[in-house]
Amino acid sequence: SDGVTLVCATNLLEALDPALTRPGRIDRIIHVPFPSKKERIEILKHYAKEMPLAADVDLEALAGLTSGMTGADLSNLLNFAAIRAATEGKEQVTRAEVDESFDRLMVGSRRTGVVMKEEERRLTAYHESGHALVALYTPASAPLHKATILFRGSSLGVTWSVEKEDTFSQSEQQCLASLDVAMGGKAAEELAFGAGKVTSGCRSDLVRATQLARAMVTNYGMGFTDSKAPMVIGRQDYLLVSDEKKSRVDEAVQKLLDESYARARRLLEEKRDELTRLAEALLEHETLSAEEVRLAVAGKLRAKPRAEAQQTAEEAGEELHVSSSLSNNEDRKLEKRSAPGSAPTAEERENATDRSAHTRKETHKETRGQVSPTTGPSAALAPSPYAVAAAVEVSELLAERQRRREQGGGGPEKEGKEREKKKSEPGAGEGTAANGR
């Protein structure tokens, strides 16, 4: 009657006190789901309106890869791509920048300046090749997206698969395929180097596989072959279950893991030549898309040009430059959000940018050396300040470059030197769009 409407938001509805949601109080619950593929296309088009996108950027294809992302995630994806393009002096945002931004959100930022021993590098290549081959040859597996032996986040290497259409449930075959892919890394290490050379880098895969196998048995009604009506055992119910039932659960979980490892090992033994070719290709190219993985397995992937190989160090330096240009502003935002006396650590600041996508997006990814979690648009699509700021930065750089050309003042090379000079001055970067998230 007084015209006041109270709106609350939560991601954990079951944790609310029932007294709060009784009739007459906050009794109307509106569920806001993640955007569908069609809605993600519209959101991407909305945020890309002010960006000079190159012709090779396919927003519809990108929408297919971003299942589970929110509007804010999509805005952040395009924003980082625009910032990267502007920092590199490009006149348009190309597919390369969009792909790198997507990978950054999914599996973490690319780490530079870390040198891996050749033995460790080769072992990582075989490990990731094992994941990729099992994903490639297992029919029910999620589509392979990419494999890399470059440091990303806290991982020595990553192989990940992404559903290209929205999915709302998983069949038993799909769960078993996920188990097989997770076991592919350890199986490849053992096959290539022997049982005694298997490393602790397999831990994250085994953790994920064990969690999935236990969920299959206790939550999904899968794995108990001698029961017509398997029971669901939640966390709270587990203490009430008899010791005999707990033992049967453990046996069923172990059986799923044993059978999965045997399938992965058998597949890699049959594809031993393909495993070697793929590992060598990863050692040479470091990152392979799904199509490049197929070419490498068939022995048709072209060798890396010498000139391209010589640019690797320069590209790594550029990646470090982009990351550092963002870090100052990110640090300031984190410090403002932190409670007094609880300043974030350096590791928290490094991972803060990528955390939201990991918790929202359910994706199948296999990593070495890291425990990997597996996890409708807004009513009003207001222009994102991040995307607009990045687009403005691109436009300003292009306008400045045109003025310098007319005045004979040089091109991108000189602009890059001037930007580096400005960064070295006290207070440089404060309030600039290129730093802005």
Give catalytic residues, as residue numbers.
Answer: 128
Query: Side-chain half-sphere of 374: how many Cα atoms within 13 Å?
Result: 21
Q: Which helix (H) or strand (E) holds 272?
A: helix 272-285
Alpha-carbon span 133 to 127, nearest angstrom: 10
Write out the two tokens for 323. 């990351």
Write out the two tokens for 374. 């597996």
Q: Contact 218/232 with Cβ under 8 angstroms?
A: yes
Alpha-carbon span 34 to 293, nearest angstrom: 31
Write out the two tokens for 28. 């109307």
Q: Contact 146/290 with Cβ under 8 angstroms?
A: yes
Q: Which of the 8 DSSP states describes residue 403?
A: H
CA distances from 236 to 218, 230, 233, 244, 286 (A): 12, 17, 8, 17, 45
Pairing of strands 157-161, 364-368: antiparallel
Q: Contact 30/24 with Cβ under 8 angstroms?
A: no
